[in-house]
Amino acid sequence: MFNSLSDRLTTTFKNLRGKGKLTEADVDATVREIRRALLDADVAVPVVRAFTASVKERALGLEVSQALNPGQQVVKIVNEELKGILGGETRRLRLAKNPPTVIMLAGLQGAGKTTLAGKLSKHLKSQGHSPLLVAADLQRPNAVKQLQVNGERAGVPVYAPHPGVSSEFEAATGDPVAVARQGIEEARSKLYDVVIVDTAGRLGVDAELMQQAADIRAAINPDEVLFVIDAMIGQDAVNTAQAFNEGVNFTGVVLTKLDGDARGGAALSVASVTGKPIMFASTGEALTDFEVFHPDRMASRILDLGDVLTLIEQAEQNWDKDEASRMAKKFADQEDFTLDDFLQQMQQLRKMGSMKKMLMMMPGAAGMREQLENFDEREIDRVEAIVRSMTPHERVAPKIINGSRRARIARGSGVHVSEVNGLLERFVQAQKMMKKMAAGGGIPGMPGMAGPGGFSGSRKKQQASKGKKKARSGNPAKAAQELAEAEARRAGARKALPTGSAFGAQDTDFDPSSLNLPKGFEKFLGK
């Protein structure tokens, strides 16, 4: 998401690096590039003008001129302004004091309302609510059936008293207002605390659509009216949002198909123009590809600053705490890291979702976007298949895996023997690193940590360099003179050092012949 906009802005800020002071010309050039990037991203022109004017005013002020790093200060200003046009702060659902909480979905046909209803219901169910889906879209072919399928996948009941139409040649006969009203009564009688009403859409904004949406709103008096909009339509989202805001007066915006939006025009325009916050974002086809919209985190993603907080939240939701504590105990007891443990960790990662999406949330991910795009998600499946093709004893003691065992594992997992060899080699290296860390040796290669590549290694190099002999001169006379001076220094040092035992100095010279030495040891004494 926002790939092209993120690349343009990142390239713009690279030109500011290393500058101790920014001139007015530097600020003008930066603001001009930001304006071009936003216009190319199909952001509404009034939003672009207000954004660039604010950035320029702050960049020319004392906020930047007195900063230690003006370039980073400009990035901070742009980040704050992006956060402002995206909504400023995270807006949560307002729940009714007396259940059920009624949520109405409105928008054009094809925006993804029905799919979003299933995603939202699954999200609310995971938070401990008991939602009910109401099929009030009676004019789009198979809309009721689609909602029933989504509800079944999400594990949420669907109230659908009317089947709707099955083809485009049938005329709509049901009353969506009555269906919506009956759905609320059904939720009250069966103690559902959230009702999500899916309404009909049109291919374009018309009076009939607005009137129907307004009638449903007046009948059910919803606590939240969510305007569902396709993020890929760009600046045109503004006109549609304004029309729905005048006709229905929605309370929040939901962006769908955000994963396919490389520019971000709709996301950056709709919140500023309508004044209504973006509450949720749909980022894929699966029911779990749904997240709460955080303006600050989204601004960080656009500027390639990462979204570590979302990663942490996903880990907390999906990571098995018992498994994590077991691994921590094993690590503390300095037990061997086995292939069974490796398999468990991989399964935990799979629960968190797509590896590509997780890696794209890391800071600086834009620099390796091409590699991430070429990453095959099925690689994890192949690795898991290799490990599962091993016997329990082989997973605990991988050293016993010889050539014939490797050939058997490769046949059982459907891969080449080279892939099995590569996995075992990487696992051995990981095992060594885990052992070193458990023993208190630190992470190899990390600054400040013990181990090769750290500070201890550099100290050894320094000591070794100190112990090296000084190079002799190429002049024979000078070399002989330097050798004589060195011998004199060593002789003077020997005379200066006190001789004797650890229990006190001895006046007499030490005689090696008085020692009871082994036979033939005299040759080492120069005798």
DSSP-assigned letters across all residues of 302-317: HTT---HHHHHHHHHH
| Of 53-57, 69-73, 387-391, the least confident | 69-73
Is residue 483 predicted with pLDDT exceeding 90?
no
| Of 149-153, 280-284, 442-446, the least confident | 442-446
- Cα–Cα dist 182/146, whole Å: 20
How do residues 418-444 score in pLDDT, each as one tens digit?
A: 999 988 888 888 777 777 766 665 555
Joined together, the tokens standing for residue 443 give 């992470």
Is residue 47 predicted with pLDDT exceeding 70?
yes
Supply the pLDDT for residue 226.
Answer: 92
Supply the pLDDT for residue 526.
Answer: 56
Neighbours of 26 (CB within 10 A): 18
Contact 323, 344 (CB under 8 A): yes
- Cα–Cα dist 338/427, whole Å: 9
- Name the maximum alpha-carbon separation found in the chain: 123
386-395 average pLDDT score: 89
Looking at the structure, give the CATH architecture of the domain made up of residues 313-438.
Orthogonal Bundle (1.10)
513-523 average pLDDT score: 61
Contact 297, 310 (CB under 8 A): yes
Q: Is the dihedral of CA 473, 474, 478, 484 positive or negative?
A: positive
Fold of 101-305: Rossmann fold (3.40.50)
Q: Is CATH 1.20.120.140 what the domain over 3-85 is classified as, yes or no?
A: yes
| Partners of residue 229 on adjacent β-strands | 255
Torsion angles phi and psi, residue 472, rounded to 5 = -80, 160
> Within 13 Å of residue 236, how many CA atoms lie on the same side as its CB?
9
Domain with CATH 3.40.50.300 in the chain: 101-305
33-42 average pLDDT score: 86
Is residue 222 predicted with pLDDT exceeding 80?
yes
Is residue 501 predicted with pLDDT exceeding 70?
no
Helix, strand, coil percentages, rounded to 5, for the chain: 55, 10, 35
DSSP label at residue 140: S
Domain with CATH 1.10.260.30 in the chain: 313-438
Provide the whole-model pTM. 0.68
pLDDT category at 134 given cuts 50, 70, 90 is very high
Most trustworthy range by pLDDT among 52-61, 310-319, 348-357, 375-384:
52-61
pLDDT category at 458 given cuts 50, 70, 90 is very low
DSSP-assigned letters across all residues of 340-397: HHHHHHHHHHHHT--HHHHHHTSTTGGGGHHHHHT--THHHHHHHHHHHTS-HHHHH-
Work out the percent of the chain whose per-residue pLDDT is above 90: 12
pLDDT category at 156 given cuts 50, 70, 90 is very high
**131-135 and 194-198 beta bridge pairing:** parallel
376-400 average pLDDT score: 85
Supply the pLDDT for residue 462.
Answer: 47
Joined together, the tokens standing for residue 446 give 């990390």
Amino acid at 115: T
**C-alpha to C-alpha distances, 441 to 47, 354, 435, nearest whole angstrom:** 54, 33, 9
How do residues 84-120 score in pLDDT, each as one tens digit?
A: 888 878 888 888 888 899 999 988 888 888 899 999 9
DSSP label at residue 231: G
How do residues 168-212 score in pLDDT, each as one tens digit?
A: 777 777 788 899 999 999 999 998 999 999 988 877 777 888 888
Supply the pLDDT for residue 308.
Answer: 77
Contact 228, 115 (CB under 8 A): no
Helix (H) or strand (E) holding 252: strand 252-256
224 SS3 class: strand
| Partners of residue 227 on adjacent β-strands | 106, 253
Supply the pLDDT for residue 194.
Answer: 93
How do residues 299-340 score in pLDDT, each as one tens digit?
A: 888 887 777 777 777 777 766 677 677 777 766 666 677 888
